[in-house]
Amino acid sequence: MSKLMKLQKFSGKAESYVSSLLLDENVVLAAAGVGEESDSVNEQYYVAGQQAGTKVRSENPDVLVIVYHDVDASNVVYRVTAFLHRFLFSLSDDMKFKSRGEALRLKAISVVMSDSQVREDRVMLSAVCNTARTLASASVLNAVLVDLPPNVLNCQLFARIAEHEAKSRPSVSFEVFDEHACADRKMGAFLAVAQGSRYGARLVHLTYRSGSPKRKVALVGKGITMDTGGYNLKTGDGILWMKGDMGGAALVLSTVLALADLEIQDVEVHAVAAVCENMIDKDAYRPGDIVTASNGKTIEIQNTDAEGRLALCDALVFAEQTIGADVILDAATLTGACLVGLGLEIAAVYSNCDQFREQLCKSATVAGEAAWGMPLRKRYLKTLQPPYCDLSNVKQGFRYGGSITAALFLQEFIQSARWAHLDIAGPAWNFEKHRGAGYGVAMLVDWLANN
């Protein structure tokens, strides 16, 4: 290995990678760099794992040995978990829609630590490997759901998948509300979005409860399985990846399943996914319509392509008023403004509680994922307050602060719960590989397990 690194002038810089095939032994040697110590070193391990996994998937070995060299013993849990999580995730290669493809041959992975003190702590290493494997599995499910084409994944199939996953875990309960049950609950905003779809709507609810929880937590996800924009039709390349507009629903489902698989104690966590399509049809909702949400607030539709917040607002009311959640986090691929402001890799975090926002950002750093705290500028809410009804879903033609005003709109459907909004419009989708990125599971599991 030392000869390989010297021969290929391997620097160990972040995102550096070298490999060589030893022909006489049919062995591939490789080295992945994580860079120097910094505040974002966990993210460097996360990225290195992702890069190494992608490379190894292309080399497709039968057996793999991962050797960790010079990992700080005091931080080994977080760093090895971040690397292994993304390494295992990146080995997954969705081949279901290929007529031919090379199956993964890998039968076994061994993890070796160069530090003798760390190496001898087998209980800790076993726990790290189990956590990483579980996070990877949940992240793969997250990504697979985001990847499924809209002619395959609709709200009905999403509900069946959630039910199947819940039934395979005795600690997880499941219920689902169809469009008729949602109408009984007066979810006029959510159902307006679904009006144009032949599949109707589904509000999916999973619960994981263990030990003696101190509070109820609800994770609420936007689940638009195809977003055409409705009558404010999307144009250009942007419409192609709108099958992934249910990334928030995929994230909250995957997170609750991961909590159950890891047997996280003393928590009660609910996943609520508002799932439907936003389509054009004779029954589809229109710009200018005024709808009534389940908390009684009236909303003018100024743009049918601002549909995610309409689905979410009724789900938020359900989380607080029906479930009785004390703490609510919603996750959504919500705004293009977030993409413009924070780019493709960083989620925006808004909250009505500074401590909550800081906890989420800290958990993102620990997990190796990227999130940034954002301001809730209340003065901006006036742009969504027309004179003839309570709210508008956007201010048509007003381009500024769109991610902030979307969060402010959602906050109008929270009464007293601690609440946070996670805009994952960038990191939910891997634009380079044109597939789901599996973002957010590690971050939310860390937050739920440690707060």
Question: At 119, which amino acid appears?
Answer: R
Separation of alpha carbons 382 and 286, rounded Å: 23
* Residue 116 φ/ψ, nearest 5 degrees: -65, -35
Which residue in 216, 222, 243, 309 is the catalytic one?
A: 309
Q: What does each C-alpha distance from 401 to 311, 377, 406 come to in angstroms?
A: 21, 9, 9
Q: Is 216 a catalytic residue?
A: no
Find, among 374, 360, 335, 369, the residue nearest to 418 by Cα.
360
Separation of alpha carbons 441 and 420, rounded Å: 16
Neighbours of 65 (CB within 10 A): 11
Q: Is 297 a catalytic residue?
A: no
Q: Which helix (H) or strand (E) holds 256?
A: helix 247-262
Helix/strand/coil percent split, the chain, to 5: 40, 20, 35
3-state class (DSSP) for residue 366: helix
Encoded tokens for 303: 């743009």
CA angle 430, 431, 434 (to 5 degrees): 80
Separation of alpha carbons 311 and 306, rounded Å: 10
Which residue in 133, 186, 209, 234 is the catalytic one?
A: 234
Kindly give the pairing relationship between strand 202-210 and strand 267-278.
antiparallel
User: In 13-77, at which residue ranges do the beta strands (DSSP E only) sit?
Assistant: 17-22, 27-32, 63-68
Burial class (CB in 10 A: 0-12, 13-18, 19+), 93: middle
What are the residue numbers of the active site? 234, 309
